[in-house]
Copies of this chain bind each other. A is one copy, B any other.
Amino acid sequence: MTDLPIAGLSVRAVTLKDIAAHCGVSLGTVSLALRDDPRISTDTRARVLAAAAELGYDPTLHQAARRLALSKHGRDVLNHVIALIAPSGFHRPGYFAELLHGIMDVLVPAGFCALITYIYSHEDAQETTIPSALRAGIVDGLISMVRPEPVIALLDTLRRQPGFARRPTASLIWEMPGSSCVRADDEGAGYALTRRLLALGHRHFLQLTFLLPYSKTMEPQNYRIAGARRALAEAGLDPDRHLLLADMSNFNWLNPAHIDSDQPELAQVWVGDRVLPLVDVLRAHPAITAIFGLNDASALRAWRLLEGAGYRVPADYSIVGFDDTTPRLDAAGANQLSSARVPLQEIGRAAATLIIEQATAAVPRAPAELVLPVAMAFRGSVGPARG
């Protein structure tokens, strides 16, 4: 071995064989020593470690060989890479950036990287269109940041691929069967918001919703409604009579221009199977004094429609948004919209911590569920019930 590498300038990467030759021991001994196998004497282990350091042995360079050898025994190798399923198109850059921020804050100091990919649709779950990196044994775990339906299909395929198999997976915001979940306490938030408004004398509420095709699953929207209903029931009020659902599906809350639009169609909501202007719904239910938005945009939209009809907030109606992402500023620049703040960064951090734990655990862990508290911000849009 005349071309023994000089540390840092290796033409050829240092191998176990080099260390073995350097120490005058066998290759197998080096392998065991580097992995702290108790069969190796303290003395030889020390010599091997010293030689490895001196020659500049880097185990990560030989992941391929290690993986190949271990595959014989069905074992795996950590790559320090976590897959992230991101929403294609970044519909809500802030939302996604906050989650990613939290995730990276945990992954990077732990020596992990995030492997970001998209899912475009259900079809992408086909074996052929799955990003090859997910099947190649590159990732040690997976975090989904999108609606679960397409990811469920994807995992269904990945689970039976030897390169992914039983690696830990987690879903953010939404629950996903078979995966860990880190989400906000939407039920608790709905409950707390309602309690507060009940304390202010409100008794009849309008809940704005977006009826999605998948809305049968327990998703955030439904948890919030469930929380509101619990608060009502606790107060001795029949939820079915005191919480009216109005669907805003024709209003695109991702389009800022929709909030202040004067288009008549965008003023319409569905109540049951009838469609009529939001203001008419309120006139038909004069006992309603408070409105829950599904997010800030829907709350602001309702506020705007009320203003257009000559109503005042909070004198005539109290209004609450959700997520605390879109403010409504008064003359002094202060936000007036009450809202509930989903702790996006914390959700990201918790999920990354969880996945790293599960990926590095000696024995496989069962999926876990983390529910993080939601902070309330009551501002000028909320006041005592009128009358």
Contact = CB atoms under 8 A, between A and B. Distances in A.
Interface of A: 8-10, 12-13, 58, 60-61, 63-65, 67-68, 71, 79-81, 83, 86, 88-90, 93-94, 96-97, 100-101, 104, 108, 111-118, 120, 127, 131-138, 160-163
26 contacts: A10-B160, A58-B161, A61-B135, A61-B161, A61-B162, A63-B137, A64-B65, A64-B71, A65-B68, A68-B68, A79-B133, A79-B138, A80-B131, A80-B132, A81-B115, A81-B133, A81-B138, A90-B100, A93-B94, A93-B97, A93-B101, A104-B116, A113-B115, A113-B134, A114-B116, A138-B138
B61 A64 contact: no
Nearest to A13: B162
Contacts of A65: 64, 68
A162 B9 CA distance: 10
A136 B63 contact: yes
Given A88-B104, A97-B97, 14 more contacts: A8-B160, A58-B127, A61-B136, A64-B64, A64-B67, A64-B137, A79-B136, A79-B138, A80-B131, A89-B101, A90-B97, A104-B116, A108-B117, A111-B132
Contacts of A116: 100, 104, 113-116
A88 B90 CA distance: 19
A156 to B, nearest CB: 11
A108 B88 contact: yes
From A67, A96, A113, name the one whose CB has the most chain B CB atoms within 10 angstroms: A113
Contacts of A133: 79-81, 113
Contacts of A163: 60-61
A118 B110 CA distance: 12
Nearest to A84: B116
Contact of A111 (B108, B131, B162): B131
Contacts of A108: 88, 117-118, 120, 131
A60 B104 contact: no
B63 A86 contact: no
A127 B9 CA distance: 12
Given A93-B93, A161-B61, A118 B104 contact: yes
